[in-house]
């Protein structure tokens, strides 16, 4: 990774505001989730707007011009519109030039790791190429404010990284992607696709809102994600004690505390941003990675573990050897 960037909307929404609509107290939200605030996009801000700002910040950090990019991948489950891909909008707004490949990845909250590994594989066979990988979501557009299972958790944001030629031994060391389609109903937006097109009925029944079985997701993380992370790190030739920084999807603070304890990762090695930004979907890992990088927390040669999990159900894991420019 040659550079990182992020964009969080300026509007801060505290627990009192979301709690009032969801029928719970600010104290209850913090006790259950560890979240203190989240950001909300303005009415005229779309996913691509946040993605472009994050992408520009990452390109600037990397010292790479948009015209040098050969690939742009945007991980999102809240695209600007069904077609064209949001990545194409981002490419145009960045001024990436004619011919840059651009596509979206939808693996919900694990989407950034899916996009990262896909982009790395595309670049593997080309010399001197650069890719911009972005995770961006505007969940505020698909939340039911009265649903305390979801409305209190999610925020809007975007995070980005630039991939390209690096020093030997640096970059992506290992990656693993997995899907568990039998559990796909744990997280979903039921309507709006070809199965249930938009209609008066789907609107009236709230089927365009994001829905999540929180208990089922926690059980999935405990039973599937935790052992998979252990196995992945071991298969890569490392132990959890070798991991300098653990950057998980910022799903829920209490869930992450449990995950960290089960893996034996000390709190000081886990990078978190959920307290201030909540769960930003596909943006949560790159946003957290950017904040860790810009704070000086990541040293050259550090081993960094990324762990994404979410709707699908899907899971994406990657190990990076950090490179400081």
Active-site positions read 109, 249, 279
Geometric angle at alpha carbon 96, from 92 and 100, rounded to 5°: 95
228 sits in the region (left: phi over 0; alpha: psi -120 to 50; else beta) called alpha
Tokens 């939340």 -> residue:
143
CB 58 within 8 A of CB 132: yes
Report residue 18 as tokens. Answer: 């979301």
CA 52 from chain centre, in angstroms, equals 15
Per DSSP, 140 falls in state G
CA 236 from chain centre, in angstroms, equals 23
How many alpha carbons lie under 13 Å from residue 239 in its C-beta half-sphere? Answer: 2
Query: Can you tell me the distance from the alpha carbon of 296 to that of 324, in angstroms, rounded to the nearest whole number?
Result: 10
CA quadruple 235, 238, 240, 244: dihedral positive or negative?
A: negative
Report residue 215 as tokens. Answer: 């208990």
Report residue 12 as tokens. Answer: 């801060």
């Amino acid at each position: 990774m040659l550079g990182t960037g992020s964009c969080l909307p300026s509007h801060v929404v505290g627990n009192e505001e979301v709690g009032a609509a969801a029928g719970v107290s600010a104290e209850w939200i913090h006790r259950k989730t560890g979240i203190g605030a989240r950001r909300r996009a303005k009415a005229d801000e779309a996913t691509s707007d946040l993605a472009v700002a994050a992408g520009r910040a990452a390109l600037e950090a990397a010292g790479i011009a948009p015209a040098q990019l050969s690939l742009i991948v945007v991980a999102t489950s809240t695209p600007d519109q069904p077609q064209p891909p949001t990545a194409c909008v981002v490419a145009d707004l960045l001024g990436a030039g004619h011919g840059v490949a651009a596509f979206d990845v939808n693996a919900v909250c694990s989407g950034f790791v899916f996009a990262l590994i896909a982009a790395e594989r595309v670049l593997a066979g080309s010399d001197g190429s650069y890719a911009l990988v972005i995770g961006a979501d505007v969940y505020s557009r698909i939340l039911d404010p009265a649903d305390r299972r979801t409305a209190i958790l999610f925020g809007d944001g975007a995070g980005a990284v630039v991939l390209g030629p690096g020093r030997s031994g640096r970059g992506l060391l290992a990656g693993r992607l997995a899907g568990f389609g039998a559990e796909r109903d744990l997280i979903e937006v039921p309507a709006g696709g070809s199965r249930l097109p938009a209609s008066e009925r789907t609107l009236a029944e709230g089927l365009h809102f994001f829905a999540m079985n929180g208990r089922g997701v926690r059980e999935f993380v405990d039973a599937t994600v935790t052992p998979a992370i252990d196995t992945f790190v071991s298969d890569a030739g490392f132990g959890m004690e070798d991991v300098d920084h653990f950057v998980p999807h910022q799903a829920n603070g209490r869930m992450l505390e449990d995950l960290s304890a089960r893996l034996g990762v000390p709190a000081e090695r886990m990078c978190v941003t959920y307290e201030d930004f909540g769960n930003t979907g596909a943006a949560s890992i790159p946003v957290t990675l950017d904040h860790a990088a810009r704070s000086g927390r990541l040293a050259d040669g550090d081993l960094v573990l990324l762990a994404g999990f979410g709707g699908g159900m899907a899971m994406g894991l990657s190990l990076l050897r950090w490179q400081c420019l």
